[in-house]
Amino acid sequence: AQTVTQSQPEMSVQEAETVTLSCTYDTSESDYYLFWYKQPPSRQMILVIRQEAYKQQNATENRFSVNFQKAAKSFSLKISDSQLGDAAMYFCAYFWKGGADGLTFGKGTHLIIQP
């Protein structure tokens, strides 16, 4: 079974600084998607960024970018110019295109933004 591991239960960063959240996953498949979801205190789950395993180029969405290392099975999220509104739980998730199991989530990283 696929597993997703987020080794940092909590991270803290100063406003305007850059922070990187780690995610590793375990799979024997080659065709899959990886996601980062944000869950602010409102509890709403919001998609931050998505990466297809076959694409070598790292995905970027404004201040959010990923470092996808397929061989190392690593998928970290970099947040640049951190803002107070970035404070939230961040979940890494995996989906195998050939599967029927929905998304597999990590346990999450609680990101604190220090003003």
Partner 1 sequence: DSGVTQTPKHLITATGQRVTLRCSPRSGDLSVYWYQQSLDQGLQFLIQYYNGEERAKGNILERFSAQQFPDLHSELNLSSLELGDSALYFCASSLWGTPMNEQFFGPGTRLTVL
Among 10, 107, 112, 114, binds partner 1 (CB under 8 A): 107
Q: Any residues with CB less than 8 A from the CB of 93 and at least 6 apart, and which?
A: 4, 34, 35, 36, 37, 103, 104, 105, 106
Residue 97 binds partner 1, judged by CB under 8 A: yes
103 lies in the site for partner 1, by CB under 8 A? yes
Site for partner 1 in 46-65 (CB under 8 A): 46-47, 50, 52
Q: Which is nearer to partner 1, 47 or 112 (CB)?
A: 47
For position 43 contacting partner 1 by CB under 8 A, the verdict is yes
Q: The tokens 């996601």 sit on which residue?
A: 35
**Nearest alpha carbon to residue 37 among 114, 104, 115, 113:** 104
Task: Output the smallest distance, CB 16 to partner 1, in A.
Answer: 28
The yes or no reply on residue 44 touching partner 1 (CB under 8 A) is yes
The radius of gyration computed from the CA coordinates of the chain, to the nearest angstrom, equals: 14
Distance CA 60, CA 45 (A): 19
- Which residues contribute to the site for partner 1 (CB under 8 A)? 33, 42-47, 50, 52, 91, 95, 97, 99-108
